[in-house]
Amino acid sequence: MDSKKIMMVLSMFLIIGSSYLLFGNYNNFTTGQGGITGMPIATASVEVTAISQISMPVNSVSFGATEPGATKDTSKDSPPPFKIQNDGTVSVNVTIARDSSSAPLFSGTGGGDNTASFQFAANETVAEPGSFDTTTSLMSWTNVPGTTPITFLKILDFATSGDEAEVELRISVPIDEPAGVKSEALMFIASQA
Amino acid sequence: MVNMKINKIIKILAIIAMISLAVFGYALFDTLTYTEDIDLTMQLQVSDYVGFNIDTDAIYFGTVTPGGSSERIVTINNTEQYSTRVRILTGGDLAQWVSASENNFRINPLEERNITLKVKVPANTSYGNYTGIVKIRLKKIYI
């Protein structure tokens, strides 16, 4: 093969090769993901889902020293209950569960998950009543579940004038509960109502 | 006469080939090193109550108390016909507090993957607003 033929073959190869690299992937272009640079774009789309999960530290509500057999709750704001606020722009439903990183609050007889030893209830705040649907939310004392969440707060509004709720807590210390500091971390999950 | 025409054609082809060679080299380099970065803003407030913000235009961790934590899920969907390597990088105030459920992984063509971003707020954190950036770096995989 003479040099002219080699030159022609090489030229054709380079022309076809560069054309393929430049234009071969155009069918994969997706609009709305940025400017065309000559190479494929939109390798992936990324979406933030409308679910948020927040873990409460165990010491946010402290009942202080309590005798075995005693019952205490936050309904009189002493200690104050948890307060949940909707900071976003859509109404949310909220679930409650024990955080899997934490053990149940009590280990004595009648303690453990989903028992009357540790209960909660949704409540309206004095400052912002009517922030959520009180007819479908769990407004009466309900056992705190294990790690399987249950929805207790329905349609928490996002308007600043009415976007907050309280989570009352009640403890009943088992009569044979060993002495010591007791704590349980709770997990709240909000999703679009 | 014919030879002169052939020589002229070859010269033109040679010039085109030189240009093509430059384009070929550039395109090959660009393809082999191609990456795409997607930046998402992160926001967190530390206060004495729990606050949710499930808006999807950024990663809002809401409001948590010191010592608490918050999670958001990000869905990564590979819309292409080739595999992509995904790296998740963080920056800003929240960089040291945020972790991803998985990192530096391969995502196959048309595959969808949920990644959980978790922020753990140290117990001694002062009340206030904290921000950061999560950078999702995508790199095309050839093998």
pLDDT digits (tens, 9 = 90+) for B6-24: 788 878 878 887 887 887 7
Specify whether A143 is located in the same domain as A59.
yes
The Cα–Cα gap between B58 and B133 comes to: 10
Specify whether A71 is located in the same domain as A156.
yes
Specify whether A62 is located in the same domain as A33.
no
CATH of the domain at A148: 2.60.120
Per-residue burial over B109-129, b if 16 or more Cβ lie within 10 Å, else e, is eeeebebebbbbbeeebeeee
- Residue A150: burial class (beta carbons within 10 Å; 0-12, 13-18, 19+): middle
Helix, strand and coil percent figures for chain B, each rounded to 5: 20, 50, 30
Interface test with A, best of B52, B77, B101, B118 (most A CBs within 10 A): B52
Cβ contact, residue pair B38, A48, below 8 Å: no
Domain that holds residue A168: 51-192
Specify whether A171 is located in the same domain as A123.
yes
B23 in A contact zone (CB under 8 Å):
yes
The Cα–Cα gap between A27 and B142 comes to: 18
Cβ contact, residue pair B77, A45, below 8 Å: yes
Q: Residue A18: pLDDT band by 50, 70, 90 thresholds?
A: low
Q: Calculate what percentage of chain A has a pLDDT beyond 70.
A: 82
Model pLDDT for residues B73-126, shown as the tens digit of each residue = 999 999 888 888 999 999 999 999 999 999 999 999 999 999 999 999 999 999
Residue A26: predicted pLDDT? 39
* Amino acid at the residue A50: A
A167 SS3 class: strand
Q: Looking at beta carbons, which residues of chain A come within 8 Å of B36?
A: 34, 41-44
Strand blocks (E) in A41-104: 44-56, 71-73, 82-86, 92-98
Residue A132: predicted pLDDT? 97
Residue A133: predicted pLDDT? 98
Q: Residue A35: pLDDT band by 50, 70, 90 thresholds?
A: very low
Mean pLDDT of chain A, nearest integer: 83
Cβ contact, residue pair B69, A55, below 8 Å: yes
Specify whether A104 is located in the same domain as A155.
yes
Specify whether A82 is located in the same domain as A7.
no
Alpha helix stretches (DSSP H) within chain A: 3-23
Specify whether A62 is located in the same domain as A39.
no
The Cα–Cα gap between A139 and A150 comes to: 13
Specify whether A88 is located in the same domain as A166.
yes
Residue A54: predicted pLDDT? 74
Residue A60: predicted pLDDT? 61
Specify whether A106 is located in the same domain as A171.
yes
| CATH no. of B35-140 | 2.60.40
Specify whether A7 is located in the same domain as A27.
yes
Q: Where are the domains of chain B?
A: 1-33, 35-140
B129 has a pLDDT exceeding 90:
yes
Residue A13: predicted pLDDT? 76
Cβ contact, residue pair B114, A49, below 8 Å: yes
Specify whether A56 is located in the same domain as A96.
yes
**By the 8 A CB rule, do B122 and B44 touch?**
no
**By the 8 A CB rule, do A86 and B63 touch?**
no
Q: What is the mean pLDDT of residues B55-80?
A: 92
B59 has a pLDDT exceeding 70:
yes
Taking the CA of residue B71 as centre, how many other CA atoms within 13 Å lie in the half-sphere pointing to its CB?
16
Out of B14, B67, B70, name the one closest to residue A52 (CB).
B70
The Cα–Cα gap between B35 and A67 comes to: 62
Specify whether A32 is located in the same domain as A75.
no
B71 in A contact zone (CB under 8 Å):
yes
Residue B16: predicted pLDDT? 83
Model pLDDT for residues A42-101, shown as the tens digit of each residue = 567 888 887 777 766 544 678 888 899 999 999 999 898 999 999 999 999 999 999 998
User: What is the tally of structural domains in chain A?
Assistant: 2
Mean pLDDT of chain B, nearest integer: 88
